Amino acid sequence: MKTIGIIGAGKIGKAFAAHVAKAGYPTIISNSRGPASLTETVEEIGHGIKAGTTAEAASADIIFLSVNWNKVEEALAGISNWENKIVIDATNAILPGFVPADLSGKVSSEIIASLVPGAQVVKAFNTLLAAVLASDPRDEGGNRILFYSGNNAEAKKAVQEIINKIGFAAIDLGKLDEGGRLQQFPGGPLAAQNLIKIK
> Secondary structure of the chain in the HEC alphabet?
CCCEEEECCCHHHHHHHHHHHHCCCCEEEECCCCHHHHHHHHHHHCCCCEECCHHHHHCCCEEEECCCHHHHHHHHCCCCCCCCCEEEECCCCEECCCEECCCCCCCHHHHHHHHCCCCEEEEECCCCCHHHHHCCCEECCEEEEEEEEECCHHHHHHHHHHHHHCCCEEEECCCHHHHHHHHCCCCCCCCCCCCEEEC
> CB–CB of 60/82 below 8 Å?
no
- What is residue 1's predicted lDDT score, i.e. its pLDDT? 84
Q: Going from the N-terminus, what domains does the chain have, and what CATH number goes with each?
A: 4-198 (3.40.50.720)
Cα-based angle 179, 70, 132 (whole degrees, multiple of 5): 55
Q: 168-187, pLDDT tens digit by residue? A: 999 999 999 999 999 999 88
- What is residue 186's predicted lDDT score, i.e. its pLDDT? 86
| d(C-alpha 83, C-alpha 137), whole Å | 32
- What is residue 141's predicted lDDT score, i.e. its pLDDT? 85
Q: 97-134, pLDDT tens digit by residue? A: 999 999 998 999 999 999 999 999 999 999 999 999 99
Least Cα distance to 112 among 7, 192, 20 occurs for 7
| d(C-alpha 83, C-alpha 56), whole Å | 15
Instruction: Tell me the pLDDT of the chain averaged across its residues.
Output: 95
| d(C-alpha 34, C-alpha 38), whole Å | 7
- What is residue 139's predicted lDDT score, i.e. its pLDDT? 84
Q: 12-52, pLDDT tens digit by residue? A: 999 999 999 999 999 999 999 999 999 999 999 999 999 99
- What is residue 17's predicted lDDT score, i.e. its pLDDT? 98
- What is residue 119's predicted lDDT score, i.e. its pLDDT? 97
Q: 55-103, pLDDT tens digit by residue? A: 999 999 999 999 999 999 999 998 989 999 999 999 999 999 999 999 9
| d(C-alpha 170, C-alpha 117), whole Å | 26
